[in-house]
Amino acid sequence: MHSIIYNMFCITVPDLHSICLNIKRMILIFKVFFISVFALNSQGIVTNKDAQDEFKWALNSYNNGLYDDALLSFNKVLSFDPSNLDYRFWIGNVYYRLGYVEEALMEWRNLQSQGYKVAYLRQLISIIEQRRGISLSNELDVERFVQVASLTNSIYRRPNGYQITSLRSDQYGGYYAVNFVGNEILHFDANNNIHVVVKDGITSLKSPYDVIELGELLYVTLCSNDEIGIYDKVFGIKKGSIGKKGTEAGELLAPQYMTVDERDYIYVSEWGNKRISKFDPKGNFILHFGFKTVGYTGLLGPTGVTYLNGNIYVADAVKNSIEVFDTSGNHLYSIETSFEGIEGLSSDVTGNNIIISSKYGVYRYSVLRKTFVKLLKAGNIDSKISSSIIDVNKQIIVSDFDNAQISIYKSDVSVYDSLNVDVRRVIRVGGGPKIYVELNVSNRNGLPVVGLKRENFAIANEKYYIVNPKIAYDINTSNDMNIAIVFDKSFAMKNYESEQIMSVNTLIKSRTNKKFSFVNATSVPLVDNIESLVSTIHKTNSLGSYDSNYVKTDVSLKLAGSELMSKSVKRAVIYFSNGELNRSAFNRYSIDTILNYYKNNDIRFYLILFGNNVIDPKLQYLVNETGGAIIPFSSYEGVSRVYDLMMKQKTGTYLLEYDYPGLQEHNGYYNLSVEVNFNQQIGRGEFAYLVN
């Protein structure tokens, strides 16, 4: 050190002039330095505590669903330390939540290239790109399926045997199975755990053949009793019956398969009477059909029956055909097949397909294309496939009656693809060890995985591994709703003000389990609450003023979405509109940004349509892609239908609960990952949290 100083200041006389100049320069540099330090001190020097406090604020905003606030804070945190990879990870997360998918991918790709969370980010980027159609190859009409479970009586040991005539999926990832020889109705959850719902005894369950679920009741065809038994699905108690043995109207002879239409009318196939009988849910006879008419020979051996898009499809096992009727019993046309021993039929509503169970295999019939595709071949030459269904998780469940076996299949693509586990927030209660983790589970195509139980989850939290965490909340089994109603306040909508008021009154009449917010879509969109809105309607019999300027639809829809983020429940934006948009409707936020914002946060978009205008393609796009619906205004019942649709919304969002086994330091930053294992598919999501 001394030699360096010496060399710096060791000079000779001839260099005196240059020395003086150098000394002047050094004095100037020192002046600038001290002035700069003084200036920084007067403004406050940035410290690690500043970054930590801002980071804490950003994470709290993120966990509370305040994503716009979180983005501002994370950007400020980055200004303190632009190279911090953890901060970059969070910027990507908040971009994704806000619908800026391309920006999120850019951040995550950059992190991946620097070796940060490489495996997790590789999988995440791949899934998002597939969902955006970037790396998705053309979808094949023919899928190959892999068996992921084989369920026999050696597993369940039913005392009187185990031969299943019919299967029926529920909306929670499970399914009902009718044990014909065991005289019982079984329920399997998504993990194939069994529960006996109804069994023979005081309930008089003899030779059950098929089951349908309507509300809290199960309707079961009792083949040997020639009736439909009605049972409480919780306690298994018989509540009543429909029909009695006979050939007259309202009587039954060897009833087998059933279906139900969208108005809850029940259709049952009668092998003995060679017909279909129709009843209302109370058991009142409506009509029967399937007899010989002009140009139609009539049913000879009706077995499976299913409802799809307004029509009734009936399998005729004698003719190896499927006969199509309308709901009034008029024969429409026949579908000829070469399938031997057709039994059960079921519907794949999303694909507009009929699933056909025959003696030697399972087939799919496309109603639109009028084509058959073989999905599965029977495993044995002595098989009898009695029923096959597609459950809410897009698994095919098949009953082989003669071999006393239920088999579960997945497409080969899904088996070898991992699940997407999207950890959305971590919540610590007080200063204790209890931690809540909110996450969403879906497949690569975005289909939610429904019906998971605690045994499907494990949490890796730093050095601890927690298996079977408690599921504190499952959105699918909840009636809670968070709803934002957006009023298009353009002048044209003033013509429908009375209808809008009628609709609002209908929607808010039932407030149980519902939280409402309201957005007035004007040139300056404003949020309103239910008390203020009701007061305005009561005092002025109006919804307030309308705007002569261009309505900012994009800002209004963004604002509506942000009102729904505080709690994870069934979420919906309900848009009151005549179907028109002005030319600057999506100037600030693109339609795809709004769509991504909704999809990434489980928001459905419903359009309440006033008038008869053609619906703008952008609104139709939002409805279709979020899984919402267009509901024309017609009556109170028509508008309130949105609640029925919301109750049917499927989401793979769960809230896990566990106690952290060790101590957590104050202001400590902890990594966390959640692992999901479901029927030979696995997935892993990563997150982190700060201990406040």
Q: What is the pLDDT of residue 203?
A: 66
Please list the residue range(s) of the chain that carry CATH number 1.25.40.10: 48-131
507-527 pLDDT, tens digit per residue, is 999 889 999 999 999 999 999
Q: Residue 464 forms beta bridges with which residues?
A: 461
**Range in 58-62, 201-205, 322-326, 449-453 with the lowest mean pLDDT:** 201-205
> Which tokens go with 15?
């260099």
Q: What is the pLDDT of residue 380?
A: 72
Domain at 418-476+652-690, CATH class: mainly beta
> What's the CATH code, domain 145-415?
2.120.10.30
Q: What is the pLDDT of residue 100?
A: 98
Please list the residue range(s) of the chain that carry CATH number 3.40.50.410: 481-647
Q: Residue 551 forms beta bridges with which residues?
A: none
Q: Which residues of 72-108 are buried (b: 16+ CB within 10 A; e: fewer)?
A: bbbeebbebeeeeebbbbbbbbbbbbbbbbeebbebb
Q: What is the pLDDT of residue 13?
A: 32
- CATH superfamily of the 481-647 domain: von Willebrand factor, type A domain (3.40.50.410)
Higher pLDDT, 510 or 574: 574
Q: What is the pLDDT of residue 142?
A: 53
Please list the residue range(s) of the chain that carry CATH number 2.60.40.2440: 418-476+652-690
575-633 pLDDT, tens digit per residue, is 999 999 999 999 999 999 999 999 999 999 999 999 999 999 999 999 999 999 999 99
**Range in 77-81, 184-188, 259-263, 688-692 with the lowest mean pLDDT:** 688-692
> What's the CATH code, domain 48-131?
1.25.40.10
6-43 pLDDT, tens digit per residue, is 333 333 333 333 333 343 333 333 333 333 333 333 33
Q: What is the mean pLDDT of residues 255-283?
A: 97
Q: What is the pLDDT of residue 585?
A: 95
Q: What is the pLDDT of residue 25?
A: 39
Q: What is the pLDDT of residue 432?
A: 84
Closest CA to 146 of 679, 682, 684: 679
**Range in 287-296, 426-435, 441-450, 563-572 with the lowest mean pLDDT:** 426-435
**183: phi > 0 → left, psi -120 to 50 → alpha, else beta; which?**
left
Structural contact between residues 174 and 182, judged by C-beta atoms closer than 8 angstroms: no
Q: What is the pLDDT of residue 381?
A: 66
- Say how far apart CA 604 and CA 597 lie, in whole Å: 11
Q: What is the pLDDT of residue 682?
A: 94
Q: Work out the pLDDT band at 49, boundaries 50, 70, 90.
A: confident
Please list the residue range(s) of the chain that carry CATH number 2.120.10.30: 145-415
- pTM for this one? 0.86
Q: Work out the pLDDT band at 233, boundaries 50, 70, 90.
A: very high
- Say how far apart CA 201 and CA 373 lie, in whole Å: 43
Q: What is the pLDDT of residue 637?
A: 61
Output the average pLDDT for the chain.
Answer: 89
Strands 385-390 and 603-609: unpaired
